[in-house]
Chain A
Amino acid sequence: MAEQLSVFVDNRPGRLNAITGILRDSQINIRAMTIADHRDYGVAKLLVNDPHLAQRVLMEQGFAAALKPVLAIVITDQPGGLHELLEILAARQINVLDAYGFVVAPGQRAVWCMEVDDPVEATRLLSTHGLHLLADGELYTKYY
């Protein structure tokens, strides 16, 4: 399973680019990033090519950063691509807690990342439906 990096960040100017600056200095590439606003703070969620290194360098600079497994699923970048996936989960009463997506090859492939309430069952279910769940390394190969 892919690992997502969560970083606690103050909700004020100059904090997000402090994170991206630290990652750049360690030659870490960001595949996707989303940020949720919680009034005084936010939690930035990142997919990066080396999540363990990213966590270490951010913690060394005083940031609170945690790693968490996340489902990263290849879907088709076509109408109904995402719907198909969500139908499968809904049919089994699996709840999506947080999600975001990014396009890999326009018109062909996109990646859908999500946290669900039952990741084990979701993984099993999606695999049996022939969907491709990406591992860490795969996120950065160009073959999917």
Chain B
Amino acid sequence: MSVPVWNPAIEFMEREALERVQFANLRQTVAWALKTPFYRRRLAEVGLTHPEDLSSLRELRNLPYTTKDDLRAAYPDGLLAVEVEQAVRLHTSSGTTGMPTVIYHTRRDLDCWTELMARCIVAAGATARDVFQNMTNYGMFTGGLGLHYGAERVGMLVIPASSGNTSRQIQLMRNFQTTVVHATPSYLLHLHTALVGEGVTVDQLKLRKAFIGAEPHSEETRRKIETLFGIQAYNSYGLSEMNGPGVAFECVHQTGLHLWEDAFILEIIDPQTLQPLPEGQTGEIVMTTLQRQATPLLRYRTRDLSHLVSGHCPCGRSHRRLARLKGRSDDMLIVNGVNVFPSQIEDVLMKTPEVGTNYLIQLEKRGSLDRLVIKTEIYAKLFTGDPRTLDDLRERISEALRSVILVKPTVELHEPGSLPVSEGKAKRVVDLRPAF
């Protein structure tokens, strides 16, 4: 069986050739960036005034980072690198702070984005024969339009259903025999409940694939969606600053998300020291756009955490893979000098059936040392009454955590229902260390 692929020349390109493409595109991007007041000033500070000043790909590391705050400060046009008449679209994002950011696109920028989307869609095994129902928001939200354009380019029959109105979604799926959907994982879970409520079984649908993204989710959630609908679900990664969707996507092998390296340069850094991390270590994703003329971004700190998956994907693509996101760098804790991410702790706890879903991470100071305390609730139905089993459980969780976060925590077991509930944005980290 051959691997479905949209652009074999690029997708299977040898690493060396790919890096030559990256370098050429990086110089082009620096040339575009130098047209903005923001980067002219920022790059002059490190002595870069011409794209030719950059003599290798490695020198990217000498350039300053760009942050979300920079984007906010540059709003509305401090990062616009073309004349307004050359730009054909903009997407703004208000974020949770209410301070907006904006990304502009030229016609060519949109074409490049659409091309990346087409690669993603085909890599996940969808074809022109598929009927594609796009269940995410259109408008400022980049997920709707991004997938829409990509699906049209692939030649799928596109139903721009947008989000919400679940009864109508189900009706559309039945009338037009939808085979592929794009939605958030939580919406798909809701959709399944609605299907059951309307007495529709998944056998009455023609659905075979789902593209899920736009919100963090676990491997368990993906598998649950796959089982409920009897389909394959593919994880996607994107952010509005990097166009939106189409940055990285899973191929049919579901072994991590191929990041299109001719369009983005990926770096993984330690969010504390800001130094690049060795391949495979978890850190903050930093990205440089390589194909966007209207709003070029150099070394943009995404605040998203992940690591590179090692080895080669069976599909043969040379573009490296990102692991499922592990949360946000803002959530990172430093315990005795070691970086610890709450999501790593959560992963271990979720894989332990004897404890419930609620937990609390507590940091204390004991002398000059930090002490990490993980409070969990026992799961009542698996309680045997034997305290030795519980002591073993405590030790087992502590050891499992140590092997992942490299710090051995004190694990506490508590009564069911005694910790803050996991719904919503429950505060799960309590730092009791005195501030200096």
Contact = CB atoms under 8 A, between A and B. Distances in A.
A82 interface: no
Nearest to A58: B380
Nearest to B417: A62
A65 B383 contact: yes
Interface residues of B, number: 18
Contacts of B379: 64
B321 to A, nearest CB: 40
Contacts of A41: 390, 412-415
Contacts of B375: 40
B415 A66 contact: no
Interface in A8-63: 8-10, 15, 36, 38-41, 43, 45, 59, 62-63
A6 interface: yes
A1 interface: no
Residue of B378, B386, B387, B418 ringed by the most chain A CB atoms within 10 A = B387
A67 B385 contact: yes
Contacts of A43: 385, 387, 390
A63 B414 CA distance: 10
Nearest to A62: B417
B415 A64 contact: yes
Interface in A71-112: none
A63 B380 contact: yes
Contacts of B385: 4-6, 43, 45, 65-68
Contacts of A10: 414-415, 418
Contact of A9 (B384, B386, B415, B417): B415
A15 B413 contact: no
Interface in B371-413: 375, 378-380, 383-387, 390-391, 412-413
Interface in B354-378: 375, 378
Interface residues of A, number: 22
B76 interface: no
A40 B380 contact: no
B416 interface: yes
A66 B384 contact: yes
A65 B382 CA distance: 10
Nearest to A10: B415
8 cross-chain pairs, A with B, having the tightest CB-CB distances, nearest first: A6-B385, A66-B385, A64-B383, A40-B412, A64-B380, A43-B387, A62-B417, A10-B415
Given A8-B378, A38-B390, A59-B380, 15 more contacts: A4-B385, A5-B385, A8-B413, A38-B391, A39-B412, A62-B416, A63-B380, A64-B378, A64-B379, A64-B380, A64-B415, A65-B383, A66-B383, A68-B384, A68-B386
Interface of B: 375, 378-380, 383-387, 390-391, 412-418
